[in-house]
Amino acid sequence: MSDLIVKAAVKDALADNNVSADFYDALNEEVAELLDDAAERAEANDRKTVQPRDL
């Protein structure tokens, strides 16, 4: 699986917190699941275009 997140952006967003190395892998998996679910919803509605409402 490719990285779907930008580690530097995550670190910047959580600037007041420390971020463990394995957090990025877990976040990447969550994002991948979110994208898969959105794509399935779009397909279920006979669309090829994923839209914000699919989230």
| pLDDT, position 40 | 98
| 1-17: pLDDT as tens digits | 679 999 999 999 999 99
Mean pLDDT, residues 12-30 taken together: 96
Question: How many whole angstroms from its chain centre is CA 27?
Answer: 7
Q: What is the pTM of this model?
A: 0.86
How far from each other are the two terminal CA atoms of the chain, in whole angstroms? 21
Q: What share of the chain has pLDDT > 90, as a percent?
A: 93
Question: How many whole angstroms from its chain centre is CA 21?
Answer: 17
Q: CA–CA separation, 28 vs 40, rounded Å?
A: 18
